[in-house]
Structure 1
C-alpha cells in the first residue's frame, strides 16, 4: 500500500504492526497511519479472530508468523518491510493528527539514517487519560539500528544523543479490563525476571524493599496521578505491584538456579557456563 510517496525510496516509511486477536482495534491504528505511511506491514502471531482478514481488507501487507516473542516478532516485521525507515505502532495505539502532520513534514528530511525519532505516548485507564506519558523511539532506520533482542520492553537500540522528539501524541488505548491488566502485568513481570536472570543480574533485597514504594511515590505524587481520583490511585498501586512482582520473581528464579547449580557436577557447570561457551542456557524448575 502506497498512499503517499514523498521523494526517493530512501525516505519512504514502512509502518510495522505486530498483532494477535485484535480485529476490533487494528482498524483505528491503521487509519491513523495512512497519511504518512508508504506501506503498512502487519505480522500476525496466530490470531483466532478476524485480525488477519481485517488487516488484509484494510490494504495492509499481512504476514503470519507463529509467536516467537515480542522482540523477534518485531524483528521479523522489520525484515519484511520494503523501506528502511520503520515506524512501529501497536494495534491499541493511534497516531493523533499533530503527530501525523509532523511525520509528513519530516519525510523529505529523512536523510540521516543514524537519527531516530521518539513520540510522546499517553495511556488510558478506567476511561481516563493519564497526564504523564513517556517518549518512546518509534521511527528509526533499520540500516543503523535494530530492535533489541530483549524479552520485554523491546526498543531500537539508539544512543540518547541521536534521538529527536516529534510533536504530537501517540494515544495508547491499553486498558481493556482489570482482569486483562493483571494478566498482562503478570506476563510482563515474568519476562522482566527472566531477562534479569539471563543477563545474570544479581538479586538485591534492597530492590524488593524499596523499589515498590518508590514507584508508588513517583507515579502517585511526582507524576500527579493523585489528580485522577480512583483511577490514578489504582495505576500507582499497579506500578507498585509490578515492581514487587518483577523483583520477587527474580528472587525466585535466582534461588532456583542456585539450587540447580549446587546439585550439578562441576563438569556440568563448566559446560553450561555462558562465559565459556558463548551462549546462555538455564534450566529452572
Structure 2
C-alpha cells in the first residue's frame, strides 16, 4: 500500500539512520542526483530501488518519482535522508488507512534538530510539508520561494498530528551557508504558483515583501516571539543562522536592483 521515496545527494552520513527507521515491509526507492560518496552503496545494500536524475528542484524530483520510477502502490511517502519518521506514523497509516480515502495529500509536521538537539521553540511550529501523497492524483509544483515544493489546491488535503524528526544541521556551517546562498538567490522575488496550496507562514512571507525590516523581524520571530531563548544556545544559533539567511536574501535583492539600475 505504501512506497517510501528518498531523495539523495551525498547522504552517506544520514541515510543509514533514515533507512533503519523505515519498516522493512515497505519498498524504498532512492532517487539520487549525483552522489560521489557511499550513498548508492548504502541504498543498494538495504535493497532499495535506485534511480538517478540530475537535480531539477524538489517539486520536479518528486514528480519524477511519481511518474518515472514504476511505483505501483497507491500511496507514496516522501522522506528526505536527514529525516526520521517515528514508528507510530507508520502504525497510524496502517490503522487509519480507510480514513485516508477522502484525501490526496497529507500535510505532515516536522520537529527540527540542530546538532542533535531538539528545538522545541525557535523554529515556530507547526511546520507542515506535503509528504504522504496519493500516487494517481497528486503532483508537485514549486512554492512561493522558488526552491520548495507545494501541491495544487485541487488536491484534497489532510493534516497529520504526528511529526517527523528533521536533523537538518550537524554543525557544517560553511556548507550550510554555501547551500543557502543559492536558495536565497531563488527567494529574492517571491512568486507564488497559481493554485498552489500555501501555508500561513508562506502567505505572511509574500505579504511582507523584501523590506530590510525582515532581517530584524526574523531574529525577533525565532528568538523572542517564538521563545527560541528557551532552547538555550541552540535556539540562539538557529535564530542567527536564519537571520543571516534573511540578510543574504535582502543583499542579493539589493544588488540585483542596483545592477538593473
Of residues 215, 220, 223 in structure 1, which corresponds to 2:223? 220
Partner of 2:198: none
Matched, 1:136 2:139: no
Q: What stretches of structure 2 of length at least 5 have no aligned partner? A: 195-205
- The answer to whether the Cα contact below 8 Å between 2:106 and 2:132 also exists between their aligned partners in 1 is yes
- The answer to whether the Cα contact below 8 Å between 1:78 and 1:142 also exists between their aligned partners in 2 is yes
- Give the superposition deviation at 1:238: 1.6
Q: Which runs of 4+ in 1 moved over 4 A?
A: 194-199, 203-206
Using the size of structure 1 for normalisation, the TM-score is 0.74
Of residues 86, 103, 117 in structure 1, which corresponds to 2:93? 103
Partner of 2:178: 183
More relative contact order in 1 or in 2 (CA 8 Å, sep 6+)? 2
Distance 1:86 1:221, change over 3 A: same
Distance 1:148 1:109 in 2: 26
Number of residue pairs the alignment of both structures matches: 241
Distance 2:184 2:81 in 1: 21
Of residues 3, 7, 13 in structure 2, which corresponds to 1:24? 13
Of residues 35, 38, 43 in structure 2, which corresponds to 1:47? 35
Matched, 1:152 2:147: yes
Partner of 1:266: none
Structure 1 or 2, whichever has the larger Rg, is 1
Map residues 1-285 of structure 1 onto 2, 5 A cutoff: 12-34=1-23, 37=26, 39-79=27-67, 80=69, 81-112=71-102, 114-132=103-121, 133=125, 134-149=127-142, 151-158=146-153, 162-177=156-171, 178-193=173-188, 196=191, 207-256=210-259, 258=260
- The answer to whether the Cα contact below 8 Å between 1:196 and 1:250 also exists between their aligned partners in 2 is no
- The answer to whether the Cα contact below 8 Å between 2:142 and 2:193 also exists between their aligned partners in 1 is no
Distance 1:74 1:205 in 2: 29
Distance 1:217 1:205 in 2: 15
Distance 1:219 1:229 in 2: 12
Q: Which has the higher helix share?
A: 1
- The answer to whether the Cα contact below 8 Å between 1:46 and 1:64 also exists between their aligned partners in 2 is yes
Using the size of structure 2 for normalisation, the TM-score is 0.80
Task: Give the SS at the match of 2:142.
Answer: coil
- Cα RMSD after superposing both structures: 2.9
- Give the superposition deviation at 1:36: 6.8
Task: Give the SS at the match of 1:216.
Answer: helix
